[in-house]
Structure 1
Amino acid sequence: MNPLLKAEQAVLGSVLIEPGQLSRLDWLDPDHFHRPVHRALFAALRALRDRGHPAVAAEKSVPSLSWVTDAVNEAGRHVRGLTATYPHILISACPRSEHAPVYGRMVLEGAIHRRVTEHAVRLHQAARADALLGEVEGALHHADVLAEVLGDLARRWGTEPRPVAPVPVPVTAPLAPSVVLADRVAEDEQFLLAVLAERFGAMDEVVDWLRPDDFADPAHQQLYRCLGALHHRGEPIDRITLLWEAQRRGLLTDGTLTADQLTIICDGVGAGSAEWLGERVIRSSVTRTAGASARAVRSLAENEALAPGQLINHALHALGPLDDVRSRWQSANGLPSRTPTASVPSPARAHAALARSTPRPAPPPSARTGSMPVSTATRPLSRGHG
């Protein structure tokens, strides 16, 4: 049994039985339905309502033959496979037509999971393409689209979009780049570290916006931490002081770094711009972080146990690392920082929120069982308190 399919059938059946239920489903769109025939049928019912179909104003609790027939004919113009008997299956699948908003909320919940998954896949594909081309614009564009989609879905669901970390935080494996791409990134990182270690004042060009996590190689991350520590303390930087700092941190004894690796980096120095090389390193960090964020969002969206509000807020949190590295990449290139779009309340928000189950009104005092006050004089004394 597929609960989402049952919900789609129930919401369509409720509208076929009682056309007036459409006024309570204005926050639900045809695209929120998973099956194409359901999308076409819901769009057809809305189109008939907008044209002033007589069944809408009839206020009947039984299906109108013309309403059902006209809906099938209208939807049949846009989709194949819709038979004249299928609406009767939909009607029989609806337990109570007045529960249409709740059925619609179930449909919207399924649509939220599918849409977040779809845009996470697009972001991942764009990140891989940009990594191969040495660009970042495609990944950043799709990240912005995903953030806007999350905000729109939050307003439709009736909640405020805000980043919230999941508990526990899922561990996302790093993206495995191609051999050619990995070699190119490693060369850029080695060349940058060589320039930083040998050229006086080179750290001043990158220290404000380049972070150790922007390096793909763990050994290169630790070496950049060593360089940053020397720079922070105002000590001279060269291959000897770098080797000493690495030794003090235990990098040569725990296997993180070997003396040969350090020698290769320091002996491979040549003419180069630390700022230009650092920009290449942080550019690869943008695409790598975008790929990791996309995989984390997709993993969240595929978890059907997550409520839509949780999914949206956890997905926004997963995009946080990408926002951080993007702002530093913009600083490295002298670009203005992106200003987040203000959240504009949507009229559909209140209606979708009201579609949630509401507590039943409390019965009057006279109808409550055992509501008569009991005199303290007639109560039996508790044991031990006589």
Structure 2
Amino acid sequence: MPRTPAPDEPEDDLDDLPDTHPPQPVYYAEQALLGALLLEPHRLTDIAGIEPDSFSNYAHGALFAAMRALPAPDPDQHAQDTSWLDAVLTAAREHARGLTASYLHTLIQVCPWPRHASAYARMIETEHARRILRAHAERLSLTATDVTLPHPVPTTLAEADALARAVDDIAARFPSHSGSLPRTPAPAPMAALGDAEEAVDEERLLLATATAHPADVEQMRWLSTDDFTHSLHAGLWQCLTALTRRRAPVDPVTVLWEAQQRGLLVSGAEPAELLDLLSAPAGSAEYWGERILQRSVLTTAHRVGRRIEAFTDDPATAPFQLILGSRRALAELSAVRARWHHATSLAPTTTSTRTRATAPPRAGPPRTTAPPARISR
């Protein structure tokens, strides 16, 4: 099947090009709208919600801009001559030189019904909203994985805010509609961002340091088991928080016993190895906790961006589903974001048993001892 020519391509060369990217349905909606407006320019007053950049094809946008910039012709006069069409072509060619008079005639011929112009415009608006949302989601995903950023979390959250504003803008332009969430399958799960070995080391150091200084655990309720990359580490953090809430004694042996009661040892972890892990504190538990939470924020942001990208890539996803699905995904990021804000902005209400003067500076990872030997998995 021959490829449908774009209006700015030389027609003589089309037969030699492979049909690798056939036009999407919105391309034909754009052609139908432009054909309707070329036939009946007075219908421009009925078109709302789209701009020249709403078109997926640049030349189509240039034509639309030219039509809007020129005064609409008298209907009777327009039916008798092509002076308005000539003026539109001349104005549009200033921005899209490949446009030809023959393509304008093609647009007129392929328009099914000029009176359906508003419906064609709504199709174009829908696809434009989809492209906008995808661009924002893609920027969120890329920002979350950008290791060159000096302040990755604030920058990533700023992109999340921009994405949320885009969702709100789309919701304002499309009426609310009760319905189901998108049926698009979720992207394949991925590991936490960053260095996996570094993540495991930081989690082990947190557990050991918190075991040595359990008073710090009370001040770290902003850290969740979902933030850990290793399930055993998440379980051990649950053990620590449970012991501190019960005001029970906390040391490597009591944590090991709690881990046994919770069934953590059935995963293959050896008691002696757990004791070694819990007996090698280093630096500040709060520091390691913030490191773990930062990784969790960025991983969640990346996952949310990819999820919304998947929604936009599914042509069967309706606008109300895009809005509902995107807001549901962003709510997941809002939850971990609230914990990050709590961790980084709330001053501690109690003083640790250690003096803060002995705590390592927060600017760099304190390593007063070597990381404990790695646990068998």
Give yes or no for TM over 0.5.
yes
2:275 corresponds to which residue? Answer: 263
Partner residue, 1:381: none
Question: Using a 3 Å threshold, how does the CA distance of structure 1 residues 217 and 142 change in structure 2: closer, same or farther?
Answer: same
Q: Is the 8 A contact 1:20 1:59 kept in 2?
A: no
Matched letter for residue 10 of structure 1: A
Q: Compared with structure 1, are the counterparts of its residues 59 and 329 closer, same or farther at alpha carbon in structure 2 (3 Å cutoff)?
A: farther
Does structure 1 retain, via aligned residues, the 8 Å contact 2:211–2:251? yes
Q: Verify: 1:88 aligned to 2:105, yes or no.
A: yes
SS in 2 for 1:147: helix
2:20 maps to which residue? none
Aligned twin of 1:274: 285
Question: Aligned in 2, Cα 1:244/1:90: closer, same or farther, shift over 3 Å?
Answer: same
1:210 alignment counterpart: 223
- Which residue of 1 is the match for residue 317 of structure 2? 306
Q: Is the 8 A contact 2:36 2:108 kept in 1?
A: yes
Partner of 2:333: 322
Q: Secondary structure at the match of 2:290?
A: helix
TM value normalised by structure 1: 0.77
Matches within 5 A, 1:301-380: 301-334=312-345
In 2: Cα distance, 1:280 partner to 1:82 partner: 56
CA distance in 1, matches of 2:226, 2:205: 17
**Structure 2 matches for 1:40-189, cutoff 5 A?**
40-48=62-70, 53-55=71-73, 58=75, 62=79, 65-130=82-147, 135-159=152-176, 165-166=181-182, 170=186, 172-175=188-191, 177=193, 181-189=195-203
- Following superposition, the deviation at residue 47 of structure 1 comes to 1.7
Corresponding residue for 1:25? Answer: 47
Partner of 2:13: none
Paired residue for 1:227, among 240, 264, 289?
Answer: 240
Contact 2:179 2:321 in 1 (8 A): no
Alignment deviations for residues 160-196 of structure 1 (CA, whole Å, 9 cap, x no partner): 8x99754687364024645xx2222222222111111
Q: Quick check: 34-43 or 72-81, which moved more?
A: 72-81
2:203 equivalent to 1:196: no
Instruction: State how far apart, in whole Å, the 2-side matches of 1:249 and 1:62 are.
Output: 83
Q: 1:17-49: CA deviations, max 9, x gaps?
A: 11121112121122221111111111221222x
Contact 2:30 2:55 in 1 (8 A): yes
Structure with bigger RCO (C-alpha 8 Å, 6+ apart):
1
Give distance in 2, aligned partners of 1:193 and 1:287.
22
**CA deviations over 1:89-129 (Å, ceiling 9, x no partner):** 11111111110110111112222222222211111110001
Structure 1 stretches of at least 4 aligned residues deviating more than 6 Å after TM superposition: none
* TM-score, with length taken from structure 2: 0.79
Q: Alignment length, in residue pairs?
A: 325
Matches of 1:297 and 1:18, distance apart in 2 = 39
One-letter code of the match for 2:58? P
Letter in 2 for 1:215: F
1:246 to 239, 249, 259: 259
Please list the CA deviations of residues 115-166 of structure 1 after superposition, one character each: whole Å capped at 9, or x if unmatched: 2222111111100015875621221111111111111112122338x99754
Answer whether contact 2:182 2:322 (CA < 8 A) is retained: no
Bigger shift: 303-312 or 181-190?
A: 181-190
Is this contact kept in 1: 2:140–2:159, CA < 8 A? Answer: yes
Cα 1:115–1:101 change in 2 (3 A) is same
Identity %: 37
What is the letter of the counterpart of residue 318 of structure 1?
A
> Cα deviation per residue 1:52-98 (whole Å; 9 max; x = unaligned)?
x151x547784861222111111111123111211111111111111
The answer on whether the counterparts of 2:211 and 2:278 sit within 8 Å (CA) in structure 1 is yes
Matching residue's letter, 1:268: A
Label 1:154 to 1:4 Cα distance change in 2 as closer, same or farther (>3 A): same
Q: Distance in 2 between matches of 1:335 and 1:41?
A: 55
Aligned partner of residue 122 in structure 1, secondary structure: helix
Residues 301-325 of structure 1: per-residue CA shift (max 9 Å, x gap): 1111111111121011111111111
**Change in CA separation of 1:171 and 1:222 when aligned onto 2, cut-off 3 Å:** farther
Give the 3 Å change call, closer, same or farther, for CA 291–7 of structure 1 in structure 2. same
Amino acid across the alignment from 2:161 = D
Match of 1:174, as an amino acid? M
Deviation at 1:9, TM superposition (A): 0.3
Compute the RMSD of aligned alpha carbons: 2.6
Correspondence for 1:379: none
